[in-house]
Amino acid sequence: MLIVMDRGATPEQVKGVIEVISAQGLTPQPIPGGDRVAIGVLGNQGYVDESPFRGLPGVREFIHVTKPFKLVSRDFHPEDTVVKVGNVEVGWNRPPVIIAGPCAVESREQVFAAARVVKAAGAHMLRGGAFKPRTGPHSFQGMGFEGVDLLAEAGKEVGLPIVTEVMRIDQLDRVAEKADCLQIGARNMQNFDLLKEVAKVGRPVLLKRGMSATLEEFLAAAEYILSGGNDQVILCERGIRTFERALRNTLDLGVVPYLKNITHLPLIVDPSHAIGRREIVPHMTKAAIVVGAAGVMVEVHPSPAQALCDGPQSLSPDDFTKLMAELTG
Ligand code: PEP
Ligand code: MN
């Protein structure tokens, strides 16, 4: 519930309401705003009883929040959250952040080559999967911790923070030691135990939208991480599964301006997994930026034809360099 105060409410009146909220065993969250002061009420399992607050000086109205998310909403936190990954800042209304790198870390040579290419072209962060959630068990499953170590070394050499996926709770601590940002993939968006634990490791989280997740479910998943005490969450739209099969997925770009109104958490777009075809990826990267995404994540491989994972959607070094020149030129 939100308790909205009168425009002229005094600091004492706000304090009075906060004390009553605490006395009910609930958690107050003051939300200073330009034209109103509101106080969020958290910690309730069900409907919040208004009666202890009715008639308190300065109280104007009550707004009951029935959605499964509060902390991620602009109602509870009007200002944009800026997520810091190493020295890179990701947020709405800022220059878009470009994350690039291979789908999977495959070898020392491959990941260092990719790191040098994306750095030289002007990317801000290096990606690479070491634990790969593959559709079938016979596909390359990733290099595991060795891959994380190589990605970290490559990121250090070129001076880029790194993001890599974690699939299981028992990977969290070791990956968090090396990675600047932990990715939760589309297939794990609703792995609620993983979400609860990733909130605790003290690293920013890049949370990808499940391929069949509604936006309400997407935000509710992010809410798990915020309610675990970590507000450093980057949302990522990566395409959804629809009846259309011509492209890998359907890139839902309308979510960018839509979510900008609803959540203070930055949203980036992954055109690579959405589209699945390298010749279309640059177009949709530009489109994502035009509609206001806080950044993009693009797969780049030093030699896409040899890629062990997602070669058809990976940009070559030349493709990526050209795209970056077009974005910044
Ligand atoms: C990835 O980014 O490497 C990945 C596996 O993407 P998604 O979880 O969106 O399929
Ligand atoms: Mn991939």
The pLDDT value recorded for residue 166 is 98
- Of 69, 58, 45, 50, which is closest to residue 4 (Cα–Cα)? 58
From the number of C-beta atoms within 10 Å of its C-beta (0-12, 13-18, 19+), residue 137 rates as: exposed
Percent of the chain exceeding pLDDT 90 equals 95
Residue 273 beta carbon below 6 angstroms from any ligand 1 atom = yes
CATH numeric code, 83-328: 3.20.20.70
Which of 167, 238, 299 should be mutated for ligand 1, with most atoms under 8 A from CB? Answer: 238
What pLDDT, in 10s, does the model give residues 176-213? 999 999 999 999 999 999 999 999 999 999 999 999 99
Q: Residues 167, 188: contact at Cβ < 8 Å?
A: yes
Tell me how far apart the alpha carbons of residues 298 and 250 are, in angstroms, rounded to a whole number: 16
* pTM metric for this prediction: 0.97
Cα(44)–Cα(183) distance, integer angstroms = 30
In the chain, CATH 3.30.70.1140 sits at 2-63
Q: Does domain 2-63 have CATH number 3.40.50.2300?
A: no
Selection from 168, 226, 230, 234 nearest residue 206 by Cα: 234
Give residue-wise pLDDT tens across range 305-326.
999 999 999 999 999 999 999 9
Rg (CA), the chain: 21
Among the listed residues 32, 20, 27, the one whose alpha carbon sits nearest the alpha carbon of residue 56 = 20
Residues of the chain with CATH 3.20.20.70: 83-328
pLDDT digits (tens, 9 = 90+) for 223-275: 999 999 999 999 999 999 999 999 999 999 999 999 999 999 999 999 999 99
Residue to mutate (ligand 1; options 188, 208, 309; most atoms within 8 A of CB): 208
Residue 112 CA to ligand 1 center (angstroms) comes to: 21
Compute the distance from residue 100 Cα to the ligand 2 centre, in Å.
11
